């Protein structure tokens, strides 16, 4: 329930925040900075203070939430599409097809996720896609499907030997019909769980890429870029790193909690975390 509440709050901020928070690009040097040109601390006019250019941190944080959530959603959808296709094909086909696809998954998992994402994002930055969010979405989606494929393949292996699937085969149902009518409806719970955990992973990865300068192109505000821009002021203006840092932590925790709650709901036989302590 805590995960659901946090996710709802994030969605409300992402949808309504940019409208209610104001202009995140407005430079207010006269009123947004101190007499010495330093960022202003939180106040009634700027709830989270201002940054080094006099911009409202709350407005940038709210607008950045929409950007980060949208990128994570598209990357998760791409990873899920590839993961479902590979996982179902491997689990249902078995034999040489299963072995070949799982060796591909093992090969992809042998490389660190973030290092591959940084490499591909940097390469895509040199193409015509550099002015879009594609250099962030494509690497996260193309690299993040492996765990999803492995989890779904394990589930399909069990379903492929169930009585209703064997009966459908005996009646002459085609593989496509069996997958669409007998396998995918029984994978909804697993897909929801891996999507929630994948969303959390992509949120964190997008923040890392933005911090390294490989995120959405400027001037779009993102939580990772806000952390990067505020790193030089962490002593004199700590709110510049605290606000986006807390936002990243809460967002990742929210979707991890949501994924754990969905896992317990769809698979109640699994023990709760509290019971394992």
Both structure tokens of 202: 């992509």
What's the rounded Cα separation, in Å, for the pair 187 and 177?
15
Closest C-alpha among 267, 257, 255, 260 to residue 76:
255
pLDDT score recorded for residue 256: 92
Task: Answer yes or no: are the C-beta atoms of 56 and 18 closer than 8 Å.
Answer: no
Residue 23 lies in a domain: no
Residue 230 lies in a domain: yes
Residue 8 lies in a domain: no
Residue 48 lies in a domain: no
Task: Supply the CATH number for residue 118's domain.
Answer: 1.10.3720.10
Closest C-alpha among 104, 111, 199, 206 to residue 149:
104
Residue 273 lies in a domain: no
Range of the domain at 200: 71-267
Q: Where are the beta strands (DSSP E) in 133-262?
A: none
Residue 2 lies in a domain: no
pLDDT score recorded for residue 157: 85
Task: Answer yes or no: are the C-beta atoms of 148 and 87 closer than 8 Å.
Answer: yes
Mean pLDDT by 10-residue block, N- to C-terminus, for the chain (277 residues)? Answer: 89 82 72 72 82 84 89 93 90 86 88 87 82 87 88 86 80 81 84 91 91 83 88 86 92 92 74 42
pLDDT score recorded for residue 199: 93
**pTM, whole model, 2 decimals?**
0.85
Q: How many domains is the chain built from?
A: 1
pLDDT score recorded for residue 180: 82
Residue 91 lies in a domain: yes
pLDDT score recorded for residue 41: 82
For 243-265, the three-class secondary structure string (H helix, E strand, C coil) is HHHHHHHHHHHHHHHHHHHHHHH
């Amino acid at each position: 329930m805590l995960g659901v509440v946090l996710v709802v709050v994030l969605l409300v901020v992402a949808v309504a925040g940019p409208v209610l928070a104001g202009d995140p690009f407005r430079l207010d040097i006269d009123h947004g900075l101190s007499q010495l040109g330093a960022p202003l601390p939180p106040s009634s006019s700027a709830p989270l203070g201002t940054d080094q250019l006099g911009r409202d941190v709350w407005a940038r944080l709210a607008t950045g939430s929409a950007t980060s959530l949208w990128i994570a959603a598209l990357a998760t959808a791409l990873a899920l599409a590839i993961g479902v296709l590979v996982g179902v094909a491997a689990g249902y086909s078995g034999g040489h097809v299963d072995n070949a696809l799982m060796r591909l998954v093992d090969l992809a998992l042998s490389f660190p996720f973030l290092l591959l994402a940084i490499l591909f994002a940097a390469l895509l930055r040199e193409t015509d896609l550099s002015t879009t969010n594609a250099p962030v979405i494509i690497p996260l989606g193309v690299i993040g499907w492996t765990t999803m494929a492995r989890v779904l393949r394990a589930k399909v292996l069990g379903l492929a030997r169930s009585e209703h699937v064997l009966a459908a085969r005996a009646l002459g149902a085609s593989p496509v019909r069996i997958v669409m009518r007998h396998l995918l409806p029984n994978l909804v719970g697993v897909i929801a769980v891996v999507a929630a955990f994948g969303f959390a992973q992509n949120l964190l990865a997008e923040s890392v890429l933005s911090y390294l300068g490989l995120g959405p192109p400027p001037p779009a505000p993102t939580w990772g870029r806000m952390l990067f821009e505020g790193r030089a002021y962490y002593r004199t203006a700590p709110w510049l790193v605290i606000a986006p840092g807390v936002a990243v932590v809460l967002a990742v925790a929210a979707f991890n909690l949501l994924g754990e709650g969905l896992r317990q709901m769809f698979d109640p036989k699994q023990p709760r975390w509290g019971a394992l302590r």
